Structure 1
């Protein structure tokens, strides 16, 4: 694919996240939202009009078979990620799949294998990995600016009203705190410290079997991460990385931080790094770069990174007795 060619996107699953992603695509000169699909054709038509999109399908298969679409963003509920991603790859499409990649490590492996088999780019849509603040903080930590990292504290929590319904409380759609938002603090610990030696997790469960709140301690050789996810309580959405020579705090909400602070020797220095749009632009740019360079995976969030995080999440799922 030539570097100056506009990359044509398709979107499957037209909910809130898809709306934010589509709005961010409009900010990129080399991106074109070309087609969308929903089993509700009226919803697809409305979405397409809103974002100046040429085609609106009432069938996912029709979008898969559209030979003008380069890459498909899959933003459906968690339970369908694996099958839709694999089907898109089988139809010769590059794929950006919303997190969590799948509801089991076994399915995540199948998705990566499909990418390799069909030689198509595939990435989990962990947008936080690509925002400027996280990129810069990770670089500074690797440079040793706060010494050796010994402790990470991160949470992602909000109160959701079950009476309003929705997928968060729907077990059939992969609802609950761990898979919807718990993967964020797990991701932060993973990119900073890697794979833990030991995991301890406890949850508060719903009567239908999903986890409403889960707290996790990840034990490393010489460090710990204390993480929390909840859909029944509020939090400050802070993330702090503490080392032997200081600490770094990502601005709240940390998963879409617009800056960070470094505290050392009693002094604090603040850094401002606004995101482009909501922040989904940065992962879209990474997709473009990889596709143009004929890469089937990103070096910043690789297939192995996706699988590692899936395996960590799977271990916690087992510990808290979560079954889908």
Structure 2
């Protein structure tokens, strides 16, 4: 029997990218290898690059493959191809780092060779770090929340955004939640985009207090879908569309059409099945990129909340205290300290 190849050369975006240890199993449930993951990203190159081209991306490396330990690498290694594009970004605590730019699929294949399974994407373009081009509505299931409840919450998001004239499109997270994205005109910074997301979360809670919550503190959420507005805070990354999770079953964060909401099964959207979905139906997010939207209707919703006396929502602990933010302490602790 011939020995397994130590490396293979893969053509990606007109470049030859070296993939070492191509037969290493990355996803033990079905046995997909590093080379299988590379071929997956090449198979979905069109919609993948439409979603993340020219965005900085965070590297999360799995040295032992899916299911094993992982670590985030904020800085691109010094040993890298001369053609690799990078940009300087800031982490939430303000630390600058040199991040990979998703300039083309060859850049992502290079990262897969380092053990990166999927990609955490900045909402800004490398060439314009001051303006976000995406609003990301993260529907995060609290304990006790079913997949049916997450789908129902997504339907509420759809109705609200359509009413405001800022339609979005959904994707599975590759886990238990749903993300709804709105493509934005590049006119607003992340502070404003987060304010819009806070307003969306609060409006959803007003409309469906039985189903949705804008409560940052877990002790107040109950068995409701948390609309995580802080995923839009400055310098936050979100797990990217078409990216493969570090799960043994190789689940993919899969964009889908609203018409699929009742039928979509995130557990079945995998490295093995998603290329066929794309081949059969194309890119369900294509309309998203054709008509970037104004954030103004959502900022008007935010202004109405402020006029009604609502303060800003709490920020994550890694951020400095922000203007207008309420005390950053859990309600139960605040009561005890009185």
TM-score by length of 2: 0.31
Q: TM-score under structure 1 normalisation?
A: 0.32
